[in-house]
Structures are given as C-alpha cells and as structure tokens.
Amino acid sequence: MSGRFIAVDDLMVYASILTRPTGIQRVGYNLAQALVEECGYQTVRVSGPAVRSVSLGRPGTSTRLTRLAEIALSAAARLPGSIQQRLRAAGPAVIRRLRISESGTPVSMERDDWIIVLGAPWIAEGMTEGLLRLQQDRGVKISLLVHDLLPITAQQWFRGRVAVEAQHQVGTLIDRANLLTTVSTEVASEIRRLYGREALVVNPADPVLRTGNGSRRAQVNPVKYVLTVGTMHPRKNLAALVRVWDRWMGDVELEGRSDESVPELLVVGRRHPDDHDLRVELATRRRAAGKIRLLHTVSDHALGELYENCRFVVMPSFAEGWGLPVREAFMHRKGVIATDGIPAAAGMPGAAVVSATDEEALYTTIRSWWESDEPELRAELIGQTFVPRNWAVVAAELDRAVADYAR
C-alpha cells in the first residue's frame, strides 16, 4: 500500500503567528487532524533540504511568538494611518519568510506515495517547490484541495509581490496536481473553465464552537446584536455594512425614533493590510461607527458565545470560496443574510441571499429582519432542515478519492 502524507508547512507558519486560525487554515487544521486520526495519514514538512515528519499542534495554541505578534498588531493600530498601511502591507511578505522548525524525523517518500495539500502552500517559503520536486524526482502524487481561485479571478483585491506569487503557485499546482478537490461546485466550475480540469467537490465540515469559560471572552451588551465574521479583507465588503448602519441611523432619525432601535453590529475578524476602505468609512461616518465594534482576537469559546447570543448573522462578501461563518451560524441555529457570492448560503433555508452589488437590498433585508420575527422563523427552519457534517466524514471522502485514483 502506498504511503499517505499531508504537507503542513503553511499551517505551521500560520500557527506560529496566529492564536486563532481563520477560514482556510481552520479547514486545513481540522481536515489534517481527521485524516491522521481516522485514516492513518502522516503530517510532514516538505520545504527545506529533506522531507521531515512533524506534529501539527492544536489550533489556537498561544506561544511567545503569537503573543508578541498580537502585541505588535495592537501597537501598530495606534500609529498614524499612513504608517499603519505601510506596515500592514509588508505583513504578508514577512509571514511568508518565517522559518519553521527544522526538527523532525526524515521521511523517505517513494513512487506512488500520495501527499495531500490542504491549505495555502504559497505562504510557506519553498513549499510549492518542495512538492514539485517530490513529484518530479520521486514520482510522488499530489492531491490539491482548492479553496478558491480569487487571486486569479479577482485580482483587483490581491496586490503586491505575495499576491503575484500566490497567483503563479496556485496555477502551477492546479496544472501539476494528480488529483484536484475543492470546497464547492462554484470553484469546481471555475477550475473547469480556466484549466480544463475536473475537481471533486468535498464540502468542509461544520465546526463546533463550544460556549463556556475561555480566554479572551468578548464583553458585549446583553441586548441582542447583529454579527459578521471574517478577515477584514476588502472583498468581504464590510465597508458596505458601515454605510448600511449609517443610513439606518439617518432613517430612524427622520422617522422620529430613538437610535436605540438600531442594533449594535459586531465585526469579528483579523485585520488585513488592505482594510483601508473600512477604516475610512468608520472615520467619516461617526454616527454609524458608534454602533459598530471591531473585535480582532477572540477565542473559539468567545466566538461560540457571540454566535449564540446574536440575533442573526450578516455576510456581505463580494466573493468566497465557501463561506464557513454561514455554517458556523447554522450550527448555533442563527439565520444568515448573505450575498450570492457565498456558496455555503445557496439554497439553504436558513439564509436569505441578496446580490453582492445591491446595497439597497442588503439594507432593507437587514432592517426588515431586525424589525420582525424573521430571525426566529429562520432558526426554526434551521432546526428542521440543517444536517451538520463532521470532519471524519470529510476525511473519509477525501481518502476515498485518493484510493479511487490510485486504482
């Protein structure tokens, strides 16, 4: 039987600087762990002079480096805006050059062994080169999980040298991988259109964010609020929510109503080097900014509580490969207002879908939900129709795809 391995260089880089993984990293971590525990795979590092076995630590583990990174981010937030922008823009390039541990037992990989790639290989220096070297020199087969093609299909949101490298490496690996899998039918269609290749759809599982005592608990108003979750990247369209809240505040004033009728909006996610538009909207629309809170670092426990205690979730993204927060919301029986750029919301009874470019529809839907019992009705629908997936099932599907190809 051929060997089964998972390349985790990129996940190790992210683990060294983030106490809580975001979308793609969360999928990669959980799927890797399930493949190891359920299917007997081995995690390895492929960059560097030799392939070495490594242990993939628990996501969210706080280390000295992660704590220092968060302190640095907090300090940078107090600098003038122009300096913040330059520092944040340099961040991805610095991350990519972090050197992960050279420790671990050397692994000898043979012809027809399989190596699974689950995350963002371009973020780890030398990872893509190491994968291709294994394929060319040793006949190792590559299975690539494609989360999205946004660096290629939406280049307006990805700038700089790191973005160019991501575009090149994603394209190269799609061309060279023996087996392609992806997280949605939408991404599979894009792969077919752009590369003429078929990709098997393996939808992610639904993460369980347990509530209870945990570090970095988010202190929120006990009155219900609206929640949005995701890295503060411009394609998340969070600036639109600032404009929606600003209009809402203006409309209730014209109607002679108190601004207490407008809920608080909690925006949970890591900062991004290109979050300038969001910052400008918050700075210029002070009335709305008073109703909006940005939470950059919360634990899984705290995030679970935020889902549990919100009234509903809104995701205004222009484009997503999948849309994990939609499924996280469903796990807590919370309805979601999402755009047609989010595959995870399509056809789901718990979600209302509006056009990603229709800010008017976004505003009217959010306000009508808040001022009616629609969130509670959606919660009932979710309870009746939503069937969660777990990572063991996803791992089994991916392992079966590899076994079928090997035949």
216 pLDDT band (50/70/90 cuts)?
very low
The answer to whether residue 376 sits within a structural domain is yes
The region of weakest confidence among 47-51, 114-118, 183-187 is 47-51
More confident residue, 341 or 217: 341
Report the 10 Å Cβ neighbour count for 64.
7
Residue 221, in any domain of the structure = no
Same structural domain, 25 and 168: yes
250 assigned to some structural domain: yes
Buried b (16+ CB within 10 A) or exposed e, 288-312: bbebbbbbbbbbbbbbbbbbebbbb
Residues 381 and 395 in one domain: no
pLDDT at 70: 54
| Residue pLDDT, tens place only, 228-237 | 999 888 999 9
Do both 47 and 142 map to the same domain?
A: yes
For residue 312, tell me if it sits in a domain: yes
Give me the pLDDT at residue 213, please. Answer: 44
| 341 within 8 A of 317, measured Cβ to Cβ | yes
* pLDDT over threshold 80, residue 58: no
- pLDDT at 80 > cutoff 50: yes
**What is the structure's pLDDT at 187?**
93
Residues 43, 91: contact at Cβ < 8 Å? no
Query: Which range of residues forms the domain containing residue 256?
Result: 226-385
Give the pLDDT of residue 82.
55
**Beta bridge mates, 183:** none
Q: How many alpha carbons fall within 13 Å on the CB side of residue 158?
A: 17
List pLDDT tens digits, range 139-177: 999 999 999 888 888 777 776 666 777 788 889 999 999
Q: Above pLDDT 70, what percent of the chain?
A: 82
For residues 248 and 333, membership in a common domain is answered with: yes
Token digits for 203? 């939808």
Our count of domains for the chain comes to 2
Residue 275's pLDDT is what? 82
The answer to the question of residue 16 being in a domain is yes
Average pLDDT over residues 24-49: 92
Q: 241 in a domain, yes or no?
A: yes
381 shares a domain with 243: yes
233 with 279, same domain: the answer is yes
- Tell me: do 102 and 154 sit in the same domain: yes
Judge if 81 and 128 occupy the same domain: yes
Whether residues 381 and 398 share a domain: the answer is no
pLDDT of residue 214: 41
* pLDDT beyond 60 at 76: no
| CB-CB contact of 313 with 336 (8 Å) | yes
Q: 81 and 124: one domain?
A: yes
The pLDDT confidence band at residue 73, using thresholds 50, 70 and 90, is low
pLDDT at 117: 96
Mean pLDDT of all residues in the chain? 85
Query: pLDDT: is 212 or 235 the higher one?
Result: 235
Tokens for 283?
Answer: 């700075």
Tell the residue number behind the tokens 């997936």, with chain if given: 389
Q: What is the pTM of this model?
A: 0.83
- CATH code of the domain containing 317: 3.40.50.2000
Asked whether residue 100 is domain-assigned, the answer is yes
pLDDT at 215 exceeding the cut of 50: no
pLDDT band at residue 217, thresholds of 50, 70 and 90? very low
CATH of the domain at 161: 3.40.50
Cβ atoms of 294 and 256 closer than 8 Å = no
57: pLDDT strictly greater than 80: no
On whether both 19 and 89 belong to a single domain, the answer is yes
Looking at the structure, do residues 46 and 73 belong to the same domain, yes or no?
Answer: yes
> Does residue 141 lie within any of the structural domains?
yes
